[in-house]
Amino acid sequence: MLMHFSGGWALFIKEVRRFYSVAIQTIFAPIVATLLYLLIFGQVIDARLEVFSGMDYSQFLIPGLVMMTVLQNAFANTSSSLIQSKMHGNLTFVLLSPISPLAFYLAFVGASIVRGLAVGIGVLMAGWIGFDVTWQSPAWVLLFAVLSAATMGAVGMIAGILSDKFDHLSAFQNFIIIPLTFLSGVFYSIQALPDFWQWASHFNPFFYMVDGFRYGFFGMADVSAWVSLSVTLSFFVLVSLINLILLYKGVKIRD
Total-model pTM:
0.92
130-147 mean pLDDT? 88
| DSSP letters for the chain | -HHHHHHHHHHHHHHHHHHHTTHIIIIIHHHHHHHHHHHHHHHHHTTT--SSTT--HHHHHHHHHHHHHHHHHHHHHHHHHHHHHHHHTTHHHHHHSS--HHHHHHHHHHHHHHHHHHHHHHHHHHHHHHS----S-HHHHHHHHHHHHHHHHHHHHHHHHH-SSHHHHHHHIIIIIHHHHHTSSSSS-GGGS-HHHHHHHTT-HHHHHHHHHHHHHHS--SS-HHHHHHHHHHHHHHHHHHHHHHHHHTTTT--
Residue 175: pLDDT band (50, 70, 90) is: very high
Instruction: Give percent of the chain above pLDDT 90.
Output: 60
Domain spans of the chain, in order of start? 2-249
